[in-house]
Structure 1
Amino acid sequence: MILNVNELAADLDYCRVGSLENSPDHKLLAYSMDSDGSERYTIYIKDLETGKLLTDAISGSYYSLEWANDNQTLFYDVLDENHRPVKVFRHSLGDDPSLDELVYEEMDERFFVGVFKSSSKRFIYIGASGNNMSEWRFQDADVPKSTLTLIEPRRDNFEYDVADHGDRFLIRNNGEGNKDFKVSETPIAAPSSANWKVLVDHELGRPIEGITVVQDYLILSLRYNGLPQLRIIEHATGDSFDLTFDEEDYFVSLIEGREWDSSTLRYSYTSLTTPSTIYDYNIKTRGP
């Protein structure tokens, strides 16, 4: 056991753990905890070899928490007085949190920010999202103090999200008014929309609700006739197939956290007659 929440909550009237993130070398655990119900979390770092907490305690954070690849640097978001996550800070282990460096601040009150690490572990992403708008920046996870690069500026009624693969970004977006969304690709070295090329075009009535990228595959989360669907596309060949389910009414969703080089797809499935069940699906063999 790496974290006993019952033990943490023993002397508290309220306890909620927000985020849990292992350091890349798996020696440290960063976790955030709300002890009063305010949704303002304090980040703690636990040494998994000794079981002891480091002296670092970062108050006022929200849900986003990510490690850089040096095992010494944390990125986290912070709430403003209106309970809106608007700032991302960078913390170096052992430093006074009051001296943490501001990495990004959102000035538009219509937007919220979050910090994320790519599935490949190559990049730290900072996303800003508002009503029908979004905007993403990235930096090298190997170089914690590198500068942020903007992918595409925000504009009205334009939404996108991003994943990386090799020397390109794969971008789910609703450009040109495609409300069902499409997937474009663009060079990481020149990510603006001027260089976007359609990889998976939009399909009327079958919106792309999300994308997941691993080393060998692009996985689309779709919806058709009100039901969720999963489509798997092989990067190397472009070949694709859909996972099919026998029941007429069901819910299926991907479970995140897979290894970058894995060919196993883990998903949750439930229906009116099937209790919530987790399955592992081998993409290569197209079976369990």
Structure 2
Amino acid sequence: MTDTNAGAASAPVAKQVPTTREHHGHTFVDQYEWLRDKDDAEVVAYLEAENAYTEQQTAHLAPLREKIFQEIKSRTQETDMSVPTRMGSWWYYGRTEEGKSYPIQCRCPVASEDDWTPPELVPGVVPDGEQILLDGNAEAEGHEFFSLGAFSISEDGTMLAYSTDVVGDERYTLRFKDLATGELLADEITGTAPGATWTLDHSHVFYLTVDDMWRPDTVWRHEIGTPRADDVSVFHEPDERFWVAVGSTRSEKYIMIWVGSKITSEVRVLDSQEPTGEFRIVLPRREGVEYSVEHAVVAGEDRFLILHNDVVNGAKADNFVLADAPADDPTNLRILIDHRHDVRLEDVDAFADHLVLGYRRDALTRLAVWKLTDAGYGDPSEIDFDQEIYSVGAGSNPEWNQPTLRLLFTSFVTPAQIYDLVLETGEMRLLKEQPVLGGFDSSEYEERREWAVAQDGTRIPLSIVRRIPDLEPQGPVPVLLYGYGSYEASMDPAFSVARLSLLDRGVEFVVAHVRGGGEMGRHWYDNGKTLSKKNTFTDFVAAARHLVATGRTTPELVVADGGSAGGLLMGAVANMAPELFAGILANVPFVDPLTSILDPSLPLTVIEWDEWGNPLDDPEVYEYMRSYSPYENVEAKDYPAILAITSINDTRVLYVEPAKWVAKLRATKTGDAPLLLKTEMSAGHGGVSGRYEKWREVAFEFAWILDVLGLAK
């Protein structure tokens, strides 16, 4: 793909204003740091000029964009209903309506106390006794952006706490609704983080606020019906490396405060029936030790289930062990599940008579049910799924004592399925499969696992999905290669209605599960962070080389895709191996990491030091980050086509990073491959809001990808 409209408009050229940065004896002259001030009219004008240029350069794709949008729309059952979830005497569900962008949250009454079979709701038909709890469309009216933060029902079902963000900066306004009367209470709390936790008697709510760095740092207790000025700060975390969260155990017996950095955690608990009491520490924080806590009743005794990665039998339990202890003496630990190098324990949920274990083995998620007996613990039983690639997880299971377990199952070719597992019999009841209109047939698509080999010999899992062609292609095929590789986040298989528009045009979708993610256990993460971060980039390059070497594709038919920290990956491989890619799509890309991580005044910087290292104090970290920072390593060479997309209100990856990156690329690179920057002027890190706007954004990206691959028709 070349710049076909180059004669019609000139690309914006950002002025150069030298800004000097000096650290550890090294001087870097940054010509585009002036773009950081989004209140500067000249900065806004530059971003708008880039937007106008991008629109002009992609104008020829407008018919294709509209066609893809209509394909997504036509395959989506716009008027739909979720499977109801029982909590107390109500079935809770969400529904969508054709032409409306946001879900409507509802409930209807349970027929009888022993009724655990969800009612079969018919899209477009209002169930008997339906009560609308919150209409996102009404809340979003008059706003360009809308996001729902908290949506929390009190245990007795009489009160709703919800919060909304209409700017995109992830600061929410918390409100309260009496569900018996429909009355919106006078209580209103601005500037909160997402989430709200009720006490058992719904007299109080615990919520979070953030500091100037957008870090959740303070837990507050609000008494319903009192002014915000009377709210009590029950916990404040001064250490900028730590984030704070608040919630409750599944039993709702305890309110819990979680405090965590990237490598250290601490949990505090409070009996929910004593909301004005003092939180107590379960286990004091120790540097490098992470743990989580759940409450279970085992043989009539309150016990804490503790997942941790402390030293066990002389070795650190990197993939975590499961222990338990009396709730009133949490230091008295006993190991329930030992450490395994091939299994990463991830979570445990407790119910009245069983536990549900979530873990990961062979790059796949797993679930096991562990029965509780009168004597204590029975034997765990893994739920088996006979598929090569899939994702499974526990769904919404709010009740402490229920005879079924709600599960979610999906894969690249399997639309999301919702099951109820009958615990007594083991029967798996399929309640719903995500509807895909337009004659979709999963047998026309296939998914498989392949393994690339990294430069150090490590085997890198690849997940591949394609439409099965009528005739097997005789030559190379177009590929969209996706990667992330940070924060131990796993890119698990999931179905996408929108992706069908690429697959049906012959594009194969490949996920490179590179190091820095969590697919293969904690070591996979540890070997793709701090001073091993470059493994993330070389793994992705190895994945691209594997696809070419096996004859599946050629560099001229590969587009790379990644967002946020995956955008850092995109910027790095653009510098390292531009010859391997025809195009690179970078969403809200973290492409100026060294500048950001050097500045502790920026949002989220200090907590990131455990992920990337601290270049401010450590010369080795500084030099290492400088060696891979996409912005600082732009060179005068041919780059592939690049589309960078960002949001002006993003608080996680500031818009200035891709803006500076594109400005420097435009001034430095050679060749005629197009370079585009698109800035959403009223959105945050997640991009635009509303399903129709999101579909149009996907259509914009897909049309660009197809154009790069020579398939824009």
TM-score, normalisation: structure 2:
0.40
SS at match of 1:116: strand
- Pick which of 233-242 and 164-173 moved more: 233-242
* Contact residue 323 and residue 334 of structure 2 kept, 8 A: yes
- Pick which of 267-276 and 151-160 moved more: 267-276
Q: Give 1:96's aligned residue.
A: 227
More helix by share: 2
Structure possessing the higher relative contact order (Cα contacts under 8 Å, 6 or more residues apart): 2
Q: Give 1:183's aligned residue.
A: 322
Give 1:86 deviation, angstroms: 0.1
Q: Give 2:422's aligned residue.
A: 282
**CA deviations over 1:91-130 (Å, ceiling 9, x no partner):** 0011111220000000110000000111001000000010
Q: Give 1:199's aligned residue.
A: 336
- Pick which of 271-280 and 114-123 moved more: 271-280
Give 1:60 deviation, angstroms: 1.1
TM-score, normalisation: structure 1:
0.96
Instruction: Provide the rounded CA distance (Å) in 2 between the counterparts of 1:23 and 1:122.
Output: 13
* Contact residue 393 and residue 409 of structure 2 kept, 8 A: yes
Residue pairs, 1:205-284, within 5 angstroms: 205-236=342-373, 237-284=377-424
Instruction: Provide the rounded CA distance (Å) in 2 between the counterparts of 1:283 and 1:206.
Output: 24
* Contact residue 251 and residue 270 of structure 1 kept, 8 A: yes
Which amino acid in 2 is paired with 1:165?
Answer: A
Instruction: Provide the rounded CA distance (Å) in 1 between the counterparts of 2:183 and 2:382.
Output: 47
Instruction: Provide the rounded CA distance (Å) in 1 between the counterparts of 2:329 and 2:156.
Output: 31
Instruction: Provide the rounded CA distance (Å) in 2 between the counterparts of 1:196 and 1:129.
Output: 21
* Contact residue 209 and residue 217 of structure 2 kept, 8 A: yes
Instruction: Provide the rounded CA distance (Å) in 1 between the counterparts of 2:180 and 2:270.
Output: 30
Give 1:29 deviation, angstroms: 0.6
Instruction: Provide the rounded CA distance (Å) in 2 between the counterparts of 1:257 and 1:116.
Output: 15
Give 1:263 deviation, angstroms: 3.0
Instruction: Provide the rounded CA distance (Å) in 2 between the counterparts of 1:152 and 1:51.
Output: 42
Give 1:156 deviation, angstroms: 1.8
Q: Give 2:303's aligned residue.
A: 168
**CA deviations over 1:139-174 (Å, ceiling 9, x no partner):** 010111011110111112211000011211000111
Instruction: Provide the rounded CA distance (Å) in 2 between the counterparts of 1:103 and 1:159.
Output: 22
1:50 aligns with 2:181: yes
SS at match of 1:186: strand
Give the counterpart of 2:218 among 84, 87, 90.
Answer: 87
Give 1:9 deviation, angstroms: 1.1
Give 1:258 deviation, angstroms: 3.1
Give 1:175 deviation, angstroms: 1.6
Instruction: Provide the rounded CA distance (Å) in 2 between the counterparts of 1:106 and 1:191.
Output: 22
Residue pairs, 1:21-170, within 5 angstroms: 21-166=152-297, 167-170=302-305
Give 1:189 deviation, angstroms: 0.8
Instruction: Provide the rounded CA distance (Å) in 2 between the counterparts of 1:272 and 1:83.
Output: 35
Aligned residues: 286
Give 1:204 deviation, angstroms: 2.4
**CA deviations over 1:19-48 (Å, ceiling 9, x no partner):** 111112211111011122121111100111
SS at match of 1:208: strand
Give 1:272 deviation, angstroms: 2.9
Q: Give 2:124's aligned residue.
A: none
SS at match of 1:63: coil
SS at match of 1:8: helix
Instruction: Provide the rounded CA distance (Å) in 2 between the counterparts of 1:50 and 1:234.
Output: 41
CA RMSD of aligned residues (A): 1.2
**CA deviations over 1:244-272 (Å, ceiling 9, x no partner):** 01111111111133311113111111123
- Give structure 2 stretches of 5+ with no counterpart: 1-131, 429-713
Give the counterpart of 1:4 among 135, 139, 144.
Answer: 135
Instruction: Provide the rounded CA distance (Å) in 1 between the counterparts of 2:397 and 2:161.
Output: 16
Instruction: Provide the rounded CA distance (Å) in 2 between the counterparts of 1:144 and 1:94.
Output: 15
* Contact residue 123 and residue 139 of structure 1 kept, 8 A: yes
Which amino acid in 1 is paired with 2:402?
Answer: S
Instruction: Provide the rounded CA distance (Å) in 2 between the counterparts of 1:127 and 1:254.
Output: 21
Instruction: Provide the rounded CA distance (Å) in 2 between the counterparts of 1:269 and 1:90.
Output: 37
Instruction: Provide the rounded CA distance (Å) in 1 between the counterparts of 2:354 and 2:254.
Output: 19
* Contact residue 218 and residue 234 of structure 1 kept, 8 A: yes
Instruction: Provide the rounded CA distance (Å) in 2 between the counterparts of 1:133 and 1:64.
Output: 22
More strand by share: 1
SS at match of 1:184: strand
Q: Give 2:104's aligned residue.
A: none
Instruction: Provide the rounded CA distance (Å) in 1 between the counterparts of 2:156 and 2:427.
Output: 32
* Contact residue 216 and residue 245 of structure 2 kept, 8 A: yes
SS at match of 1:244: coil
Q: Give 2:514's aligned residue.
A: none
Identity of aligned residues (%): 35
Instruction: Provide the rounded CA distance (Å) in 1 between the counterparts of 2:278 and 2:397.
Output: 27
**CA deviations over 1:186-232 (Å, ceiling 9, x no partner):** 1111113xx11111222221111111111111111111111111111
* Contact residue 397 and residue 405 of structure 2 kept, 8 A: no
SS at match of 2:229: helix
* Contact residue 171 and residue 191 of structure 2 kept, 8 A: yes
* Contact residue 397 and residue 406 of structure 2 kept, 8 A: no
**CA deviations over 1:44-84 (Å, ceiling 9, x no partner):** 00111221210000111101310011211000010111100
Instruction: Provide the rounded CA distance (Å) in 1 between the counterparts of 2:290 and 2:195.
Output: 20
Instruction: Provide the rounded CA distance (Å) in 1 between the counterparts of 2:186 and 2:412.
Output: 49
Give 1:15 deviation, angstroms: 1.7
Q: Report the structure number with the largest CA radius of gyration.
A: 2
Instruction: Provide the rounded CA distance (Å) in 2 between the counterparts of 1:142 and 1:64.
Output: 20
SS at match of 1:64: coil
SS at match of 2:247: strand
Instruction: Provide the rounded CA distance (Å) in 2 between the counterparts of 1:211 and 1:271.
Output: 23
* Contact residue 269 and residue 281 of structure 2 kept, 8 A: yes
* Contact residue 231 and residue 242 of structure 1 kept, 8 A: yes
